[in-house]
Structure 1
Amino acid sequence: MQLGRTAVVLGGSVAGLCSAGALAPYFDQVLVLERDELPAEAEHRRGVPQSKHPHFLLNSGRRAIGALFPGFEEALIAAGGLHLMPSLDAAYLDGEGWSARKRSSMTMVYGSRILIERVLRDKVRELPNVTIREGVAVTGLAVGPDGITGVYFGDEHVAADLVVDAMGRGSSVSTWLAAAGRPEPEVLTLDAKVTYTSRWYELPSPRPSTWWWQHLVIMPTPHRGEHPAEHEFLVNFFPVENNRAIACMGSWGIEMPRTTETFVESARRVRTPLFAEAMDRCSPTSEVHLTRSTGNKWRRYDRTPLRGLACVGDSICAFNPFYGQGVSSAANSALLLREHLSRAERLDARFFVRFLRAQRAMLNVPWRLAMARDKGYKCAEGTEKAPEWQRRLLDAVSGPAFSFIVGAAREDAVVDEHFAKVFNMDESLGAMMRNPRVIAGLLAHGFRTALGRQRVPFGFDPQAEPPATDYSLVAAR
């Protein structure tokens, strides 16, 4: 059912491309306006500086993009994406040492942000009623008495039945609304002062015989005594297409290296030598890229709904990138928009109220996860900053609680299944912790731990190579 003549999408990144796919069945014409000139291949561009860092495509995001663009995952893998099982293919250092390697219920597709966007652009260009205009700077919105009626860019104006804001964290839409006399949305913020820095490498060919792993993850130290600042880093050696990896170090409130020399020096001080050794065996292909724009920010458009306007991705809710929620949240918002369009008879005020209410419920799941961790940091600032007593409590329990759940998931298939759902935004943390079977699994794990009777070993020496043994059968018993 056609709901209008023209829909306009502001921004041609992941959120905008997914939105174009969502809108195409319901409008005669979908126009995507993008400030950058878009590359034909998987290349970095000015408007997406975060493309130089690792991006997690969570399972909920994989499914959402696949629903919008059938065959997306197959195309991503054909273009070089890697379909891996993190519990079996990643060396994971948490708590006192390396975790055991084993099978689990969760798989992921690894690839760079630039590859994900290139495959999405190819899919969008297959849609006959979608036009992408590049090198276009949007300058404002046409606002009528009943809502948004169009978009201004350069000397041009286009009338629109629906405008989707996919311009990211720096979107000017709320400013344009204020200039037109409309109320700006309330904004919730929490900035935990996360900074992360990355460098790209070409992997050796053939790989060293000890590298059974594809992905290397080093969690911050659990110790509170004296240690190098680098022991507080969250570290990834993240595999991407074309036999490459992204070495990434990040922290909450700590100054991060900006040069290649300081980057390598810091890498040698993280809490396992494997990270620096891996870099030494690879060939660097980039300089060091640093990002500071990482605060959580939720523009509450659901409290001031406006006919003719929908917002997706970081333009409505941006997360601390450490948690890998951004791409998947954008894709899920676009899919939610399509579902509401499929049930609509007209784009009246009630349509936008219903969509925003459903989007709020969806965004609340990743938002609460981000808050649960970031509120515990003393450096955190913003409207959602926790009272000091709550901050101290979160700081004391969030890290150990996370490690405890990870430990229980190693030995209990049901805990593992639900933890994977939480990680992939398929289930809220609250729903998981209200599940009687999950609670029973956690209690059993705590009992076995107290007696020293864990089935799956853990805490392997972080100064040694992570164990290659597959403990899947041990866990199953």
Structure 2
Amino acid sequence: MRLGRTAVVLGGSAAGLCAAGALAAHFDEVVVLERDELPAEAEHRRGVPQSKHPHFLLNSGRRAIGALFPGFEDVLIDAGGLHLMPSMDAAYLDGEGWSARKRASMTMIYSSRILIERVLRDQVRALDNVVVREGISVTGLSCRDGEVVGVRTADEEIAADFVVDAMGRGSSVGTWLMAAGWPEPEVRTLDAKVTYTSRWYELPDEPPDSWWWRHIVVMPTLDKGEHPPEHEFLVNFFPIEGNRVIACMGSWGLEMPRTTDAFVGSARRVRTPLFAEAMERCTPTSEVHLTRSTGNKWRRYDRWRTPPRRLAFVGDSICAFNPFYAQGISSAASSALLLRGHLENATRVDDDFSKKFLAAQRKLLKVPWGLAMARDQGYECAEGTEKLPEWRRRLIAAVSGPAFTFIVGAAREDAVIDEHFAKVFNLDESLGDMMTNPRVIVGLLRHRVRTALGRQRVPFGFDPHAEPPATDYSNLATR
């Protein structure tokens, strides 16, 4: 059903492109306003500095984008994206050593952020009633009688029957709404001082025979004794299209290398020599890229008694996450799909529409927000409204890392736990729902008993200074 003549999307990044796909069937014309000049190919641009770092496209995001743009996943793979099973294709170092290689329920599409956005742009440009206008800076909103009726740019005012804010972390929409008479929105924050640094490499044409893996993941150590700071880094050797990888190191509250020499030096001090050795066999194709803007931030527009009519928010403009948890694109796509569902059931975009959509979006965002808080609240360096009393912070810090490692270990041997853990990771289930599932509780207790008796079926903790084992241990896992 058509709900108006013109819808305007503020921002042409992944969130804005998904929003355009959600709006297209319900308005005569959809106009996407983007400040940057958008490249025709998969290239970096000023407005998306985080594109230089790894981006996981979680299963919830894959499904949401696929629903908005049928065939998206096939196009992404045809363009070079890699469809992999992390448990078989990734060398994973957690706890004391390498995990066993085995089949599991989760698969993922690996690609660069710039390729994801290029494919999305192509999908949007194929929609007859969507226009992407580049080089446009939005300067304000036009509001009247409790609703948004237009968008102002430096050169014109565009009348709009509906507006979507997809301007990201730095969105000024909240400020513009306050100037129009709405109260200052409550903002929930937690900045765990995450910094991450990346460098791009080209893989060798003939990798060593020992490279059965496509992806390397090194989790921070749980060791409380003396060790180099690099042992607390979260490390990825992340495969992307074009026979390339992104080598990435990140940390909570630690200084990260900014130069190529410092980057290589830090790589040699992480918990396994494999990371640096792999880098040395590859050809660097970029400088070192560092990002600090990583705090969790939720603008609680849903708590306004009378939210603006004809306005919605998607992506980081309403809820931004610590990028370590790979929730951004998937949450944005899921919000866009949710918006499409509400538009399909609406006869007009009135007060009731705004309240219902924000309430449903709040429920959706609680899942990734809760996951981000579950870890970030344990760091002493964390600051913001969601910072915990010291006793609770210490408790989370003491429990979260070992608990995560324990659940990963249980998932190695129990297909049901593995399935639920994959759902949590992919934002298809909340951590609370998983941890109150009777079958999961029984499986975790059984794993605890087996661990105490030394009767685990799947080996783990392989020497991190040795090559990760290539053996497939799938036949040792049980239900």
State the TM-score, normalized to the length of structure 1.
0.99
User: In the alignment, which residue of structure 1 is the partner of 2:450?
Assistant: 448
For 2:179 and 2:377, locate their aligned partners in 1 and report how far apart those are by CA, in whole Å: 33
Q: Residue 372 of structure 2 is aligned with which of 356, 370, 388?
A: 370
For 1:226 and 1:413, locate their aligned partners in 2 and report how far apart those are by CA, in whole Å: 36
For 1:268 and 1:161, locate their aligned partners in 2 and report how far apart those are by CA, in whole Å: 56
The amino acid across from 2:347 in the alignment is E
For 1:72 and 1:112, locate their aligned partners in 2 and report how far apart those are by CA, in whole Å: 15
Q: Equivalent residues in 2 for 1:296-315 (5 A)?
A: 296-304=296-304, 305-315=307-317
For 1:309 and 1:289, locate their aligned partners in 2 and report how far apart those are by CA, in whole Å: 35
For 1:224 and 1:252, locate their aligned partners in 2 and report how far apart those are by CA, in whole Å: 16
User: In the alignment, which residue of structure 2 is the partner of 1:205?
Assistant: 205
User: In the alignment, which residue of structure 2 is the partner of 1:469?
Assistant: 471
For 1:280 and 1:155, locate their aligned partners in 2 and report how far apart those are by CA, in whole Å: 51
For 2:326 and 2:20, locate their aligned partners in 1 and report how far apart those are by CA, in whole Å: 23
The amino acid across from 2:126 in the alignment is E
More divergent stretch after superposition (191-200 vs 150-159): 150-159
For 1:350 and 1:178, locate their aligned partners in 2 and report how far apart those are by CA, in whole Å: 21
For 2:381 and 2:286, locate their aligned partners in 1 and report how far apart those are by CA, in whole Å: 31
**After TM superposition, what 4+ stretches of structure 1 lie above 6 angstroms from structure 2?**
none
**What's the secondary structure of 2:67's corresponding residue?**
helix
User: In the alignment, which residue of structure 1 is the partner of 2:432?
Assistant: 430
Give the superposition deviation at 1:325.
Answer: 0.3
For 2:185 and 2:76, locate their aligned partners in 1 and report how far apart those are by CA, in whole Å: 36
User: In the alignment, which residue of structure 2 is the partner of 1:419?
Assistant: 421
| Runs of at least 5 residues in structure 1 that lack an aligned partner in the other structure | none
1:134-175, Cα deviation, whole Å (9 max, x unpaired):
000000000112211100011201111111000000001011
**What's the secondary structure of 2:362's corresponding residue?**
helix
Q: Equivalent residues in 2 for 1:160-309 (5 A)?
A: 160-304=160-304, 305-309=307-311
User: In the alignment, which residue of structure 2 is the partner of 1:357?
Assistant: 359
State the TM-score, normalized to the length of structure 2.
0.99
1:422-464, Cα deviation, whole Å (9 max, x unpaired):
0000000000011100001000000000000000000000000
For 1:307 and 1:297, locate their aligned partners in 2 and report how far apart those are by CA, in whole Å: 23
1:192-222, Cα deviation, whole Å (9 max, x unpaired):
0000000000000111110000000000001
User: In the alignment, which residue of structure 2 is the partner of 1:95?
Assistant: 95
Give the superposition deviation at 1:476.
Answer: 4.0
Give the superposition deviation at 1:88.
Answer: 0.4
Q: Percent identity?
A: 79
For 2:104 and 2:146, locate their aligned partners in 1 and report how far apart those are by CA, in whole Å: 51
Give the superposition deviation at 1:178.
Answer: 1.6
Q: Does 1:318 align with 2:285?
A: no
Give the superposition deviation at 1:414.
Answer: 0.2
For 1:206 and 1:357, locate their aligned partners in 2 and report how far apart those are by CA, in whole Å: 53
**What's the secondary structure of 1:211's corresponding residue?**
coil
| Runs of at least 5 residues in structure 2 that lack an aligned partner in the other structure | none
The amino acid across from 2:5 in the alignment is R
**What's the secondary structure of 1:347's corresponding residue?**
coil
Give the superposition deviation at 1:367.
Answer: 0.2
For 1:207 and 1:12, locate their aligned partners in 2 and report how far apart those are by CA, in whole Å: 38
The amino acid across from 2:428 in the alignment is D
**What's the secondary structure of 1:56's corresponding residue?**
strand
User: In the alignment, which residue of structure 2 is the partner of 1:139?
Assistant: 139
Q: Does 1:332 align with 2:334?
A: yes
For 1:308 and 1:188, locate their aligned partners in 2 and report how far apart those are by CA, in whole Å: 24
The amino acid across from 1:420 in the alignment is A
For 2:182 and 2:63, locate their aligned partners in 1 and report how far apart those are by CA, in whole Å: 36
The amino acid across from 2:112 in the alignment is S
For 2:146 and 2:275, locate their aligned partners in 1 and report how far apart those are by CA, in whole Å: 57
Count of aligned pairs between the two proteins:
477
The amino acid across from 2:15 in the alignment is A
Q: Equivalent residues in 2 for 1:14-93 (5 A)?
A: 14-93=14-93
The amino acid across from 2:445 in the alignment is L
Q: Does 1:115 align with 2:119?
A: no
Q: What is the root-mean-square deviation in Å for CA atoms of aligned residues?
A: 0.6
More divergent stretch after superposition (304-313 vs 393-402): 304-313
**What's the secondary structure of 2:170's corresponding residue?**
coil
More divergent stretch after superposition (138-147 vs 92-101): 138-147
Give the superposition deviation at 1:18.
Answer: 0.2
The amino acid across from 2:364 in the alignment is M
The amino acid across from 2:357 in the alignment is F
For 1:208 and 1:43, locate their aligned partners in 2 and report how far apart those are by CA, in whole Å: 30
Give the superposition deviation at 1:94.
Answer: 0.1
Give the superposition deviation at 1:309.
Answer: 1.1
